[in-house]
């Protein structure tokens, strides 16, 4: 029995270091779906009382994301919406599509999750510097005292690593469990595990987005760090 742990191993085309793996292909597929869905719905938007179903759905989703951002950061949601919203939606769509036979979710690849974590890793100082300036942001690393600098740096790196590993592990394990159960007991159990996988995928997307949001919010609200940090606790406990 051979199980593809990660879609990175499925390579369709290779030229030197450039490898067209299933990860990339399915990422593009997800991107295409999301783009097409958005474009189809938003090309004819209504501002009146009558809404199309698609617009209603997208408004509910975007509104919910905005509410979450608002409640977690306590700040205006507009500046975080594109980044956090895209993280969440990409992970959700990838994870949900995992139930489709033959689909390899890109989030099951450590390269993808690492790329997303890397984006978060970069976005935190970008938002922080945009909010407080370079000096103001760097000063966060020596709070509450200069001795905390190494721990803060280590914390910054480790949480990025944890972000990547957490998502990868959950998605990869879900896919593997489904594959293994399909081999052992082809009836009923795989369906249950697929349903469980849907739930896990949603939760993981939520956790990833919320954690990214918390890290960014911690950087932008540096003077009162206890709020975001405590808010992050329930999310990290789940996995």
Partner 1 sequence: MQIDWFTLIAQVVNFLVLVWLLQRFLYGRIVRAMDEREAHIASRLEEASRLRAETEREATEYRSQKLALEEQREQVLLRSREQAEAQRQQLIDEARREIENMREQWLDALQQEKKQFFQDFREKIGQQVVMIVRRALHDLASVELQEPMTNSFLDRLEKLEPSGRQVMVDAIRASEREVEIRSAFPMNSRMRERIIQALRDHLDDGVAVRFEVEPALGCGIELHAHAQRLAWNLNSYLEGLEDAFVQELQNKAMEHGAQQQSNSGQQQWTAPVRP
Give contact residues for partner 1 (rule: CB under 8 A): 5-6, 8, 17-19, 21, 23-24, 27-28, 31, 34-35, 38-39, 42, 45-48, 55, 58-59, 62-63, 66, 78, 81-83, 85-86, 89-90, 106, 109-112, 114-116, 118-119
Q: How far is the CB of 188 from partner 1 (least distance, A)?
A: 30
Q: How far is the CB of 55 from partner 1 (least distance, A)?
A: 7
3-state secondary structure of 89: helix
Q: How far is the CB of 166 from partner 1 (least distance, A)?
A: 14
> Between residues 17 and 186, which has the closer beta carbon with respect to partner 1?
17
> Between residues 79 and 189, which has the closer beta carbon with respect to partner 1?
79
Residues 88, 205 contacting (CB under 8 angstroms): yes
Give the CA diameter of the chain: 60
User: Which residues are 14's β-sheet partners?
Assistant: 19
Distance CA(67)–CA(63), nearest Å, equals 6
> Between residues 171 and 222, which has the closer beta carbon with respect to partner 1?
171
Q: How far is the CB of 82 from partner 1 (least distance, A)?
A: 4
Q: How far is the CB of 19 from partner 1 (least distance, A)?
A: 6
Q: How far is the CB of 225 from partner 1 (least distance, A)?
A: 27
Question: DSSP character for 12?
Answer: E
> Between residues 39 and 187, which has the closer beta carbon with respect to partner 1?
39
Q: CA of 193: how far to CAs of 76, 136, 202, in Å?
A: 39, 48, 14
Residue 76: half-sphere exposure toward Cβ, Cα within 13 Å: 3
3-state secondary structure of 47: coil
> Between residues 94 and 220, which has the closer beta carbon with respect to partner 1?
94
User: Which residues are 19's β-sheet partners?
Assistant: 14
The residues, ordered by sequence, that sit 6+ positions from 80 with a Cβ below 8 Å of its Cβ are: 69, 73, 127, 213, 216
> Between residues 173 and 236, which has the closer beta carbon with respect to partner 1?
173
């Amino acid at each position: 029995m051979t199980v593809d742990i990660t879609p990175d191993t499925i390579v369709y085309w290779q030229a030197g270091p450039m490898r067209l793996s299933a990860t990339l292909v399915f990422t593009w597929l997800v991107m295409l779906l999301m783009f097409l869905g958005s474009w189809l719905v938003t090309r004819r938007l209504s501002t009146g009382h009558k809404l199309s179903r698609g617009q209603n759905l997208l408004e509910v989703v975007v509104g919910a994301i905005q509410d979450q951002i608002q409640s977690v950061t306590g700040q205006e949601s507009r500046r975080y919406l594109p980044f956090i919203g895209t993280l969440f939606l990409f992970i959700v769509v990838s994870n949900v599509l995992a139930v489709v036979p033959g689909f390899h979710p890109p989030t099951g690849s450590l390269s993808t999750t690492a790329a997303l974590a890397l984006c978060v890793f970069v976005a935190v100082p970008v938002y922080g510097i945009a909010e407080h300036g370079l000096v103001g942001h760097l000063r966060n690393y020596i709070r509450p005292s200069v001795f905390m600098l190494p721990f803060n740096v280590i914390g910054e790196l480790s949480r990025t690593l944890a972000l990547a590993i957490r998502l990868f592990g959950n998605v990869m394990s879900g896919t593997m469990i489904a594959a293994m159960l399909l081999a052992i007991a082809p009836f009923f159990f795989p369906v249950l595990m697929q349903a469980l996988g849907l739930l896990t995928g949603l939760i993981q997307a939520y956790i990833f987005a919320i954690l990214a949001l918390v890290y960014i919010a911690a950087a932008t609200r540096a003077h009162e760090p206890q709020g975001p940090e405590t808010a992050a606790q329930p999310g990290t406990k789940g996995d």
